[in-house]
Copies of this chain bind each other. A is one copy, B any other.
Amino acid sequence: MRDTEFMRIGARLFTEGLVGGNFGNISVRAEGGFYITRNGSYLDDPGNPVFVPLEGPVPPEASSEYRVHRQVYRSTRHNALIHAHPPYTVAASLVYDEIVPVDIEGQTFCPIIPVVDGKPGSEEIARNVANALCLSLVTVVKGHGTFASGKSLDEAFILTSLVEHSSHVLWLVGDLQGDTE
């Protein structure tokens, strides 16, 4: 059933263009650790998720971003985490220190989206994302992608979708205003 849920959410991430290739990863909290997508898997065809304990050795099949997920489950009470590469949000993170939506949904559900630094796979990115997710349900690693959390995979997915919608509108409006000035 966990497989089915991962695949269902992974398929939605693809359909909306929030991930491409075999990028991105998904996890849910479990007793003493969490289940995460396999290293190198396609999120819409992820196979069996891998259990990673909160402490101690990590199975080699786990996503290489397991450090971020582990740190988030240690430091916060979130139950699910989705990492995606939505292009408008990645672009916005390279230009802004925080992303401030101008559409109403963004202003309601994620009025300020923090942008943090960090090299993929490093302890630094794990720390920065976990710190940001103590105060926010979603954050963006500069030039890399979103980490969205929630009580469930659905919540984390919906937030990922919303952040990209807001970044898209923000980008379009910048351009539109350029036209009318």
A residues with a Cβ closer than 8 A to B are 12, 14-17, 20-23, 42, 85, 87-88, 90-92, 94-95, 102-105, 107-108, 119-120, 141-144, 154, 157-159, 161-162, 164-165, 168-169, 171-180
Contact = CB atoms under 8 A, between A and B. Distances in A.
A180 B91 contact: no
Given A14-B15, A165-B85, A172-B87, A104 B143 contact: yes
Contact of A103 (B90, B171, B178): B90
A42 B176 CA distance: 30
Contact of A165 (B20, B154, B161, B165): B20
A177 B90 CA distance: 13
Contacts of A91: 168-169, 172-173, 176
B169 A179 contact: no
Nearest to A175: B175
Given A90-B103, A165-B85, A176 B95 contact: yes
A92 B179 CA distance: 11
Given A94-B102, A175-B175, A20 B144 contact: no
A157 B21 contact: yes
Contacts of A171: 172, 175-176
Nearest to A45: B8
A175 B85 CA distance: 19
